[in-house]
Amino acid sequence: SAVISQKPSRDICQRGTSLTIQCQVDSQVTMMFWYRQQPGQSLTLIATANQGSEATYESGFVIDKFPISRPNLTFSTLTVSNMSPEDSSIYLCSATGQGATDTQYFGPGTRLTVL
Amino acid sequence: KQEVTQIPAALSVPEGENLVLNCSFTDSAIYNLQWFRQDPGKGLTSLLLIQSSQREQTSGRLNASLDKSSGRSTLYIAASQPGDSATYLCAVGDGGSQGNLIFGKGTKLSVKP
């Protein structure tokens, strides 16, 4: 199994600013993902964080709004740029060792409120 | 496009009851199905992972079944306890994005002492 930590755990931000969320895994993993959970909704995949290359974004999510880095096999960041109240959500990082067939482990999430 | 539905949305039971949570999905071409629990203010805890070739998985008081052909999975919780109170999420891995999970909206379970 993998233990995943995220920082910050929560934040309150002003409209128009940006926030970078960090995700740290305690072991080397193949795949890392970023999900969003809007209030009252389930989780939606934002992007797959690729080590050493650009992230792969899902439909409806763009790099300018959600730039992602993954400099090594255990660490990734997600930035929420030029925030608006609609970005208020829980952002979760996940990781898996084998990709499509392996258990996905999730971090505790970052609760973001945009005023 | 894969869609995952969970019924019921909420469930309240007295302690000790056995219960079943349901999950259905529209596209049977899945790699696996995973059940999670989410506690308020916390992340997701993986409960059970069923590969597409498997019919069920068991862990302690939990048993999950998978019927790919009918697009259904159930999570059976035996002898429920107040500590089981949480939101239970079903997610299918459809192979997209090399591991992308498609989530249902969850069943919020409350077990009364």
Residues of chain B neighbouring A110 (CB-CB closer than 8 A):
none
Mutate to test the interface with A, among B3, B7, B38 (most CBs of A within 10 A): B38
User: Do B101 and A105 make contact, defined as CB atoms within 8 angstroms?
Assistant: no
Using CB atoms, pick whichever of B41, B51, B99 lies closest to residue A33. Answer: B99
Cis amide linkage into residue B8, ω under 30° from 0: yes
Summarised one tens digit per residue, pLDDT across range A32-78 is: 999 999 988 889 999 999 888 889 999 999 999 999 999 999 999 99
% pLDDT > 70, chain B: 96
Report chain A residues whose CB lies below 8 A from the CB of B31: 100-101
For the cut 60, the answer to whether the pLDDT of residue B97 exceeds it is: no
Least Cα separation, residue A43 to chain B (angstroms): 6
pLDDT at A21 over 60: yes
Q: How far apart are CA A30 and CA A15, in angstroms?
A: 35
Contact B104 A44 (CB under 8 A): no
Answer yes or no: is pLDDT of A20 > 90.
yes
Q: How far apart are CA A86 and CA A73, in angstroms?
A: 31
A80-103 pLDDT per residue, tens: 999 999 999 999 999 987 655 678
**Interface list for chain A against chain B, based on CB atoms closer than 8 Å:** 4, 6, 31, 33, 41-45, 48, 56, 58, 92, 94, 96, 99-109, 111
Cβ contact (<8 Å) for A31 and B36?
no
Residues in chain A: 115
Q: Between chains, do A48 and B91 touch, taking CB under 8 Å as contact?
A: no
- Taking one residue from A and the other from B, the number of pairs with CB-CB distance under 8 angstroms is 69
Contacts of A19 (CB under 8 A, 6+ apart): A11, A13, A79, A80, A83, A112
pLDDT of residue A10: 95
Which tokens hold the place of A1? 């199994």
